[in-house]
Amino acid sequence: MRLRRKPHTDEKLKQFEDLVTVGNVQPITKDSTRELYVELGTGKGDFITQIAERNPQINFIGLEVEATCVLAAARKVREHNLSNVRLIVFDVANIAELFAEHEVDRLYINFCDPWPKKRHAKRRLTHERFLELYKKILKRGGEFFFKTDNRGLFDYSLEQFALAGLEVRDVTNDLHANEPPDNIRTEYENKFSTAGVPINFCIARVANE
């Protein structure tokens, strides 16, 4: 997937040079004293803004392929005056170029595109080719948190996690039926929930060895 950029968006992003980078640029957070959490497909930044505000001791990076979404997210991060967030206009397919092996403590995949056609399965962010990349960059014992409205994608993903040797816990097909107090609703989560669509959730963990 190519990075989607428009000249006027690039111009506007320049106001956020301390916060946003574009493409294969090494990010902040070589600060090994802090945990590093990364969100894949950050969208307009509702989730990363809230989670970073609640956890000022953790560094967060949001990866998003659409520059216009990154611009919206950057505005929110600035509004909330957060110093522990960086955003990168970036295709997750190249994530192994961005991080060192076992550098990342946790990943979040919130409502990624389901790519329902079988011939597009390779584009799903939970396809085995992505899982291999996540295993490389996540710390041993590191976890990723996965939420989706799409039951087909969820069932497919659970199969992929098992094939990849990931340990899965806290599986639910209706997260909001008994919503954990620390759940942070994303923009898409709010939309789907309002429309009465149940939210699927699980946590997948990379082995310790």
Ligand X SMILES: C[S@@+](CC[C@H](N)C(=O)[O-])C[C@H]1O[C@@H](n2cnc3c(N)ncnc32)[C@H](O)[C@@H]1O
Q: Which residues are catalytic?
A: 113
* Interface segment toward ligand X; rule CB under 6 A; list 96-104, 134-142, 160-168, 183-191: 183-191
| 175 near ligand X (CB under 6 A) | no
Beta strands, E only, the chain: 20-22, 36-40, 59-64, 85-89, 104-110, 138-148, 167-172, 200-205
* Residue 186 is a binding residue for ligand X (CB under 6 A): yes
Q: How far is CA 33 from the centre of its chain?
A: 22
Q: Where are the alpha helices (DSSP H) in 42-150?
A: 46-54, 67-79, 95-98, 128-137
Q: Are 187 and 43 in contact (CB under 8 A)?
A: yes
Binding residue count for ligand X, defined by CB under 6 A: 20
Distances (CA, A) of 140 to 137, 169, 172: 9, 16, 24
Of 110-169, which residues contact ligand X (CB under 6 A)? 110-113
43 sits near ligand X (criterion: CB under 6 A)? yes
CA angle 144, 93, 186 (to 5 degrees): 45
- 66 lines the binding site for ligand X (CB under 6 A): yes
Candidate ranges 10-18, 30-38, 59-67, 151-159; the one touching ligand X (CB under 6 A): 59-67
The window from 24-32, 62-70, 72-80, 138-146 that contacts ligand X (CB under 6 A) reads: 62-70
Distance CA 17, CA 26 (A): 13
Q: Cβ of residue 95: shortest distance to ligand X, in angstroms?
A: 8
Q: Residue 50 and residue 60: Cα distance in Å, rounded?
A: 11
Give CA–CA dist 112/103, Å, rounded: 23
Q: How far apart are CA 114 and CA 119, in angstroms?
A: 12
Residue 99 touching ligand X (CB under 6 A): no
Q: Establish if 93 lies at the interface with ligand X (CB under 6 A).
A: yes
The smaller minimum CB distance to ligand X, of residues 123 and 167, is found at 123
Residue 64 CB, shortest distance to ligand X, in Å, is 5
Residue carrying structure tokens 């190519």:
2
Closest CB to ligand X among 182 and 209?
A: 182
Contact call for residue 187 and ligand X (CB under 6 A): yes
In whole angstroms, the minimum distance from the beta carbon of 122 to ligand X comes to: 11
Choice between 46 and 143, CB closer to ligand X: 46
Q: Which residues bind ligand X (CB under 6 A)?
A: 1, 41-43, 63-66, 69, 91-93, 110-113, 186-189
